[in-house]
């Protein structure tokens, strides 16, 4: 054997060895977008019945299905459903309609719209078929198709929401509105029903103060008003409340005034009583216009000039004669501790001790 032949054989062996070591190029698993993993149909039928052949899903494992149908314009009534069956020795067991618990929350199943409709369904079942249970109308035919997908990585095969491959209309459960189509809206719950989260015109979340009707005697455990569209909101707004020793009352503003001119040695009404309301006095100012010392006493009661059930409300206020210092007296109570009638509907009166001529002014509120 010549040297040339030996060299040629050695080159051929070396080339074959390198090719064997390298092996074939690895196959790239590139998914084909838009092509379903599982498919039944499309079939156009003029009579009721189950799709043939049925779909063997035992080893393809599709869990997210969409069933759609459309009529030819002559359909009077129609009902089309996706059915599933267990495996029975490599054949379908008893066919049953797809469980409603595994139907998308925005879908209706079976399909009964005579023009066109679709439904999204979830969960794994070994055998799948489409069953036309109702089809009427002269010259009617309906076309249907079902396609499915295997669960994507990390997705819940039985879920009706994001990550499950659902093709349902995410705006199907509106909260008292006609909103539809993209984008998907976000909703909340009031503990019983789904409620839309409201926004302002700029898209920000609209926060609403749910104060309701004000009341006194609020529990000591509840010292705030809620800001929300629901009474159980957790964002509080502290209200102007005053503790009365037992519960909380709203802080008041004395927005009324009353006046008695030349009060003498008698009882005179200064504020009339109102049913179910109390009188709260924030300020009393008395000026003695006579040369006689006298006292003025706040009282409450009913009838003419508090003549019935009269009760002294405050101590006697002493006024010197107008010739001496102390003939004017200013008694501030403030809104944090107003002088308040004890009985609702009582009137407020002033009793003078002498036939003087005192002017009495008060600032008060009544509720």
pLDDT by residue for the chain (367 residues), tens only, comes to 566 656 656 656 555 554 444 444 444 444 455 689 999 999 999 999 998 899 999 999 999 999 999 999 999 999 999 999 999 999 999 999 999 999 988 889 999 999 999 999 999 999 999 999 999 999 999 999 999 999 875 455 554 443 333 333 444 544 455 555 555 566 666 667 767 677 777 777 766 555 555 666 666 565 554 454 444 444 454 567 777 778 877 778 889 999 999 888 899 999 999 999 999 999 999 998 888 889 999 999 999 999 999 999 999 999 898 888 878 999 998 766 889 999 999 999 999 987 767 899 999 999 8
d(CA 158, CA 164): 7
pLDDT for the residue numbered 237: 47
pLDDT for the residue numbered 215: 67
pLDDT for the residue numbered 178: 53
Would you say the C-alpha torsion 320, 326, 328, 330 has a positive or negative sign? Answer: negative
pLDDT for the residue numbered 164: 37
* DSSP tag of 341: -
Nearest to 317 by CA among 305, 307, 306, 332: 332
Cβ–Cβ under 8 Å, residues 57 and 125: yes
Phi, psi (deg, nearest 5) at residue 16:
-65, -40
Token representation of residue 125 = 């079942």
pLDDT for the residue numbered 27: 40
Token representation of residue 122 = 């979830």
pLDDT for the residue numbered 242: 77
| Domains assigned to the chain | 38-149 (2.60.120.380), 185-249 (no CATH), 256-366 (2.60.120)
Q: Where are the beta strands (DSSP E) in 24-126?
A: 38-45, 49-50, 55-56, 64-71, 77-85, 96-97, 116-122
CA 54 to chain centroid:
45
d(CA 356, CA 263): 7
d(CA 129, CA 221): 61
Give the distance between the most distant pair of CA atoms in the chain: 157
pLDDT for the residue numbered 26: 42
Cβ–Cβ under 8 Å, residues 256 and 363: yes
Cβ–Cβ under 8 Å, residues 163 and 82: no
pLDDT for the residue numbered 84: 96
The pTM of the full predicted model, rounded to 2 decimals, is 0.42
């Amino acid at each position: 054997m010549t040297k040339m032949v030996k060299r040629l054989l050695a080159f051929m062996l070396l080339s074959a060895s390198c090719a064997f070591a390298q092996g074939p190029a690895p196959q790239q698993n590139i998914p084909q977008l838009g092509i379903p993993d599982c498919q039944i149909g499309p079939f156009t039928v003029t009579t009721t019945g189950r799709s043939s052949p049925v779909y063997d899903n035992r080893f393809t494992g599709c869990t997210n299905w969409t069933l759609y149908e459309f009529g030819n314009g002559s359909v009077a009534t129609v009902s089309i459903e996706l059915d599933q069956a267990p495996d029975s020795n490599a054949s379908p067991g008893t066919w049953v309609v797809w469980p409603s618990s595994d139907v998308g929350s925005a879908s209706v199943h079976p399909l009964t719209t005579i023009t066109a409709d679709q439904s999204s369904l979830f969960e794994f079942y070994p055998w799948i078929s489409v069953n036309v249970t109702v089809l009427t109308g002269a010259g009617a035919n309906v076309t249907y198709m079902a396609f499915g997908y295997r669960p994507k990585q990390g997705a819940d095969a039985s879920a009706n929401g994001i990550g499950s491959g659902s093709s349902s209309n995410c705006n199907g459960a509106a909260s008292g509105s006609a909103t539809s189509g993209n984008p998907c809206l976000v909703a909340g719950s009031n503990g019983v029903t789904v409620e839309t989260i409201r926004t302002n015109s700029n898209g920000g979340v609209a926060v609403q103060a749910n104060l309701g009707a004000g009341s006194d005697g609020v529990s000591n455990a509840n010292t705030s008003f809620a800001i929300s569209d629901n009474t159980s909101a957790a964002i509080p707004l502290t209200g102007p409340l005053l503790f009365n020793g037992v519960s909380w009352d709203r802080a008041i503003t004395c927005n009324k005034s009353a006046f008695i001119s030349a009060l003498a040695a008698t009882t005179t009404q200064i504020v009339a009583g109102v049913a179910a309301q109390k009188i709260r006095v924030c300020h009393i100012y008395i000026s003695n216009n006579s040369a006689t010392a006298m006292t003025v006493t706040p009282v409450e009661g009913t009838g003419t000039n508090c003549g019935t059930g009269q009760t002294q409300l405050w101590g006697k206020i002493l006024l010197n004669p107008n010739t001496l210092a102390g003939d004017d007296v200013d008694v501030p109570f403030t809104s944090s501790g107003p002088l308040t009638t004890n009985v609702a509907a009582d009137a407020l009166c002033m009793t003078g001790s002498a036939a003087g001529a005192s002017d009495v002014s008060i600032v008060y509120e009544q509720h």
